[in-house]
Amino acid sequence: MTPFRFYTESGIVRFSGRTANNLKGLLESVREVSGSSIFYHMYHSLLRRHITTADYMNDFARWSWFNLADQELAEQLAIVDPMECLSVREARDRITDTIESFVGKRSPTRKVPEGKEFFFLELQSFVLPMNLVSRNLQEFYDCLKEVGPGSIFYHFIESRIRMGRKSSDFSCWLRDDLGESELAAQVDSLSPYVYNLWDLKGEGLKLIAQRIAKIRES
């Protein structure tokens, strides 16, 4: 059995040099910006959600609604769940396909007011080890109580994209090292589209506490 070491994510956000003030410009930039920009606007928005609650979970959907004033496009962009994608490229392709389907139905050159442009940002991410290691389910529960949103984001969201898999670090360890397949599946069923990162942590702790209680009763 390999102990589980907790890590946390931190990053530097910088301007990519690209903006979009209409639908055509948004489509062109989504096609051409770096993967780190797509990651920031699709995935890192889930980390920022623990600060502000929003109806639309990615930055493209929010901009389409609040700045471009296109609710239908915003809703379709919001449907794109990055957690169903195994790579940033796949997430980019799904966003691109969604925007393309609206270009023929809309005036692609209608501009948003000055100051309302979409600013494409990039994230330079750093993964840092924490002084938290667990070797069993109780230790994992105790460590999980101590971590912040940066660690939840890394293990629950970012690591999936880095490794090209649909299961989080938490679930992989629970399943592969502790043999807790049912608990692992329950943890993976928690969606960052339903819960913010604080709530993801809280729901995960509940599931683990319930499992620990059952083990003690048996």
19: tokens are 């903006």
15: tokens are 């301007």
Check residue 218 and give its pLDDT.
82
CA–CA distance, 55 with 43 (Å, rounded to integer): 15
What residues does 90 pair with on adjacent strands?
none
CA–CA distance, 206 with 139 (Å, rounded to integer): 15
Helix (H, G, I), strand (E, B) or coil at 115: coil
Q: Are 208 and 140 in contact (CB under 8 A)?
A: yes
186: tokens are 């329950």
- The label of the residue with tokens 């807790």 reads 180
Check residue 56 and give its pLDDT.
58
- The label of the residue with tokens 């943890």 reads 187
58: tokens are 């990615």
Check residue 49 and give its pLDDT.
60
Report pTM. 0.87
Q: Are 41 and 30 in contact (CB under 8 A)?
A: no
Burial environment of residue 23 by CB neighbours within 10 A (0 to 12, 13 to 18, 19 or more)? buried
188: tokens are 């993976």
Q: Would you tell me how many other CB atoms lie within 10 Å of the CB of residue 72?
A: 12
Q: Are 99 and 28 in contact (CB under 8 A)?
A: no
pLDDT in 10s for each residue of the chain, 218 residues: 899 999 999 889 999 999 999 999 999 999 999 999 999 999 988 777 654 445 557 999 999 999 999 999 999 999 998 888 989 999 999 999 999 999 988 888 899 999 999 999 999 989 999 999 999 999 999 999 999 999 999 999 999 988 989 899 999 999 999 999 999 999 999 988 778 889 999 999 999 999 999 999 98
CA–CA distance, 78 with 160 (Å, rounded to integer): 20
pLDDT digits (tens, 9 = 90+) for 6-29: 999 988 999 999 999 999 999 999
Q: Are 137 and 215 in contact (CB under 8 A)?
A: yes
